Amino acid sequence: MKPVAFVFPGQGSQSVGMLDAWGDHPAVRDTLQEASDALGEDVGALIAQGPKEALALTTNTQPVMLVAGVACWRAWRAEGGALPAAVAGHSLGEYSALVAADALTLAQAVPLVRLRAAAMQEAVPVGTGAMAAILGMDASKVIAGCAEVTAAMGQEGIEVVEAVNFNDPVQTVIAGSKAAVDKACEVLKGMGAKRALPLPVSAPFHSSLMKPAAERLKVALEQVAIAAPKIPVVNNIDVAIEDDPARIRDALYRQAFGPVRWVECIKKIKAMGLGTVVECGPGKVLAGMTKRIDAELVGAALYDPATLAEVKALLD
């Protein structure tokens, strides 16, 4: 098998019916049942029927994306798919990666991610935080523009905007207070950004405004028994591979209010000698990013039986 890394998507790739193509695949069915038992609600029905507005609530989006990623992973393994040499996850996708690596069980991870989502939503009142994607600009310029806006708006850290997702060399997501994000979009376009697109999200994820949520998550993480991963997991806060459960906990805590360094994660995967990156879970967002980060890498997506067969053929 060709050397490969599996990566797991985060918030934004969800859609009603995103697991329908698997039909009654035992691995997917059992994953949905396990998650439903852990949460005390029918996760399968929420994914299959929605409605879209319910799936878009971050308290639902985060758990269902975790579950969907794990379901696709377990289907891959059930169909004889080999273990990758490394795994990683974009934002909350890191929890899916940790489940795949047997560092967390799904029953542990689902309530943890639900709490993470609820804490994030409650940390910043709806409508007061925002995020935007800045396209066509080098990340260093985005960082500088955000720092300029934050300094100009002052107000003791209330008005803040930061670069929080480094998705590809010319796509960086910013987050913070709504007024500061709006101002940064204006400033960054003036500095040469091609576009500044407001994102339809309910909180400024990965910004310093999420620190109160991270403190709540930290308490919950301390109650969870994390095992040493059986597959190397590249975390997205430090771009590091950790074996020590205490260090994994700390990385998950800091990830909640720190940036997703995805460009560096993919570069690290390449530096490990892995030329193929398979996105495991709904959508093709990460597969597209992989190719934009490094054209030499092969990016593929695995989200239904047909793409599972394609990935098997690709790796043989």
| Catalytic residue status for 25 | no
Which residue, among 275, 226, 281, has the nearest Cα to 250 in the 3D structure? 226
φ/ψ of 293, rounded to 5, equals -75, -40
Distance, CA of 86 to CA of 184 (rounded, Å): 36
CA distance 294 to 114: 34
C-beta separation of 87 from 6 below 8 A: yes
E-state strands within 183-264: 195-198, 233-234
The encoded tokens of residue 251 equal 């990385």
Q: Are 58 and 202 in contact (CB under 8 A)?
A: yes
**Catalytic residue from among 13, 25, 96, 206:** 206
Per the residue annotation, which of 91, 177, 202, 207 is the catalytic one? 91
Strands 298-302 and 276-280: parallel
The residues annotated with a catalytic role in the active site are: 91, 206
